Every structure is written in structure tokens, then in C-alpha cells.
């Protein structure tokens, strides 16, 4: 028999509520609401309520929830069933080993962006005192991962959203990197705010074609900021600006590293070539989608 949480008979609500049973009920609710990986989602939420790690849940299956925990749990499961992203509910996400706070003002960092971060860190580590720019920093994930790996680097991060920058600054602070990253509130399309020549530019710009946004998963469509998703009619709006206005700010041996949407790698490469750049590599993600384009400003 299936119960919605608010339909559970009072008699059983007043009994001790055991973790294992609550998890079991939540999985059914989340599955019925179309949440992918319902069991894993329920476990993350329960670990959040109990203040433990997900692996530790195995030892807590027989524990009971206090009334306060039970009410928090009910609310979290109901919110997740309304397709509010898991990361918004637990408040943070891990990116390249850093814990980052996320909210509705920023894109939830994705695993594919870690590929960009790793490639960027590899390059930054080889330079003496690199000057680095992260365009459209959002939660600050790329700037933070790169700054940590490049102790002598100067990292700049820009975003048009004041709310995103506030969050990114908090994330840098939380990870002991606030002195290492300079944040700029600016529209990237208005040109590069940094005067000096750059060693590395990274960006995960909005790249979803406008008409496709309505076809995305509800969590993304309704809760990631449209500002961070919408790349215009063909999804390529920001790549025009990134290639036309930013390639020339790189030092001759510098690098431009861009995350791109499914099927965009070739078109973005064409733009890079059009503006005099040279495509050095295209990296695929775990789903074998060409995801990261690595370029230099000339024929270096």
C-alpha cells in the first residue's frame, strides 16, 4: 500500500519513526513524482536530516527520528517531490573536492564542468604566475578550483548577476580563497574588464538554445536560473562574444577553455578559427559528448 506523507494514519505517525521505513516510503513518493535516482535522493536527504554522511546511513537504519527531524524530513521529501533540486535542499554541492553553497541564483555545478576545471588546473600549474579569467562564474566553482591549484595565480571571476557574485564570494571565503579571487560585476558582452594580457580564460556560458529550455528536466527548467542556461536562438550567443572579444586578450601562449552544449563543439571551433584562434583539443564527457573546447589565440 502506498501513502503520501500527509496521508499516513495518525496511529502510525505517533509510533516511533524508523529511518529504514521512512526511507522506503520516501523512495516511493519520489519515484511517483518522476524524480530520477529516487533512492539516492532519499538517502542524501536523510543524511542531511541526521547530520551524517551517506555511507553512515547504513548504520542508522534502525534509529528513530525525533519529532523535529521527522517534520524537517517530511518537508524535504515533499519539496523534492515538487522537483526542487536536491542540491538546493541540502544547500551545497561538491565540486572538485570543494564544498560549494548553491541556490536559485546560480547553476548547480555539473560533473562535466569538473573536466574543464581539471584541464584548466593542469595548464595553470605549468605557468609561473598566471593571470586567469572565469567568465560567468556563477557559484564560483571554476575560479575556486583553479585558484586552489595555482597559488601564485591571479584569478578574476566575472558575472552579470550580483546575487551570484555574493554567493561565489561566500564560497571562496568558505574555502579559504577569498583573497585569491577578484570578482567583477559586469556583462561579459561589454568586453574584457581586465587590462593585462591573460594566460587562461575559462567559461561555462549559457548554451541551451532558447526553445529547448522547455524540454529540460523540471529541476533544471524551473530552478536553475534562466540567465545561466539561455544561449539564444541557437545556443551560441555567448560563444560569439567569447571568441570575438576575448581571444585577443590572451597572451600568445595562452589558452581559452570553453564548456559547450551537446553538438556545439564543431560550431564553437569554427568561431574560434574565424577569429584567428587555433583549436588544440576537444575533450569528451563521461557520456561521450564533446564537451570542452581548448584553444589558443593563434598558431602556437
Provide the binding-site residues for ligand GLN, judged by CB under 6 A. 107, 110, 204-208, 220, 229
Shortest distance (Å) from residue 72 CB to ligand GLN: 29
- Residue closer to ligand GLN by CB (options 132, 258) is 258
- The answer to whether residues 168 and 137 touch, using CB atoms and an 8 Å cutoff, is yes
* Minimum CB distance to ligand GLN smaller for 153 or for 235: 235
Q: Which of residues 154 and 208 has its CB atom nearest to ligand GLN in the complex?
A: 208
The least CB distance from residue 34 to ligand GLN, in Å, is 17
22 or 114, CB closer to ligand GLN?
A: 114
- Residues facing 37 on adjacent strands: none
Least Å from the CB of residue 231 to ligand GLN: 6
Residues 6+ apart with CB under 8 A from 279: 269, 272, 273, 293, 294, 295
How far apart are alpha carbons 186 and 272 in whole angstroms? 23
Q: Which residue is nearest to ligand GLN (CB)?
A: 207
DSSP 194-216: --SPEEEEEE----B-GGGGGGS
Give the nearest distance from C-beta 107 to ligand GLN in angstroms.
6
Q: Where are the beta strands (DSSP E) in the chain?
A: 92-95, 98-101, 131-135, 154-159, 181-185, 198-203, 250-259, 278-284, 290-296
Q: How far is the CB of 35 from ligand GLN (least distance, A)?
A: 16
Give the closest residue to 113 by CA, choosing from 254, 255, 283: 283
Identify whether the C-beta of residue 19 lies closer than 8 Å to the C-beta of residue 61.
yes
Provide, rounded to whole angstroms, the least separation between the CB of residue 261 and ligand GLN.
Answer: 6
Pair type for strands 131-135 and 198-203? parallel
Residue 205 or 254 with smaller CB distance to ligand GLN:
205
- The single residue listed with the C-alpha cell 523534492 is 80
Phi-psi region of 37 (alpha: psi -120 to 50; beta: other; left: phi over 0): left
Q: Tell me whether residue 161 or residue 204 sits nearer to ligand GLN (CB atom).
A: 204
Amino acid at each position: 500500500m502506498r501513502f503520501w506523507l500527509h496521508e499516513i494514519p495518525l496511529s502510525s505517525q505517533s509510533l516511533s519513526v524508523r529511518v529504514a521505513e521512512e526511507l522506503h516510503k520516501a523512495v516511493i513518493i519520489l519515484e511517483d513524482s518522476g524524480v530520477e535516482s529516487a533512492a539516492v535522493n532519499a538517502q542524501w536527504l536523510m543524511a542531511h536530516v541526521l547530520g551524517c554522511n551517506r555511507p553512515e546511513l547504513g548504520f542508522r537504519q534502525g534509529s528513530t527520528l525525533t519529532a523535529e527531524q521527522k517534520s524537517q524530513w517530511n518537508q524535504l521529501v515533499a519539496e523534492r517531490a515538487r522537483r526542487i533540486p536536491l542540491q538546493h535542499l541540502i544547500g551545497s554541492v561538491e565540486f572538485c573536492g570543494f564544498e560549494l553553497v548553491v541556490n536559485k541564483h546560480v547553476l548547480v555545478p555539473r560533473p562535466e564542468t569538473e573536466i574543464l576545471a581539471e584541464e584548466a588546473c593542469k595548464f595553470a600549474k605549468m605557468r609561473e604566475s598566471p593571470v586567469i579569467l572565469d567568465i560567468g562564474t556563477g557559484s564560483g566553482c571554476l575560479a575556486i578550483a583553479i585558484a586552489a591549484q595555482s597559488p601564485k595565480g591571479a584569478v578574476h571571476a566575472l558575472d552579470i548577476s550580483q546575487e551570484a557574485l555574493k554567493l561565489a564570494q561566500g564560497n571562496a571565503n568558505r574555502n579559504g580563497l577569498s583573497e585569491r579571487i577578484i570578482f567583477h560585476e559586469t556583462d561579459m558582452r561589454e568586453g574584457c574588464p581586465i587590462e593585462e594580457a591573460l594566460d587562461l580564460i575559462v567559461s561555462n556560458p549559457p548554451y541551451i538554445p532558447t526553445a529547448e529550455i522547455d524540454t529540460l528536466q523540471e529541476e533544471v527548467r524551473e530552478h536553475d536560473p534562466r540567465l545561466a542556461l539561455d544561449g539564444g536562438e541557437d545556443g551560441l550567443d555567448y560563444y560569439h562574444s567569447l571568441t570575438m572579444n576575448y581571444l585577443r586578450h590572451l597572451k600568445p601562449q595562452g589558452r581559452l577553455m570553453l564548456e559547450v552544449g551537446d553538438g556545439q563543439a564543431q560550431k564553437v571551433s569554427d568561431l574560434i578559427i574565424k577569429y584567428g584562434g587555433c583549436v588544440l583539443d576537444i575533450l569528451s564527457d563521461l557520456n561521450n559528448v564533446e564537451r570542452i573546447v581548448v584553444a589558443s589565440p593563434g598558431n602556437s
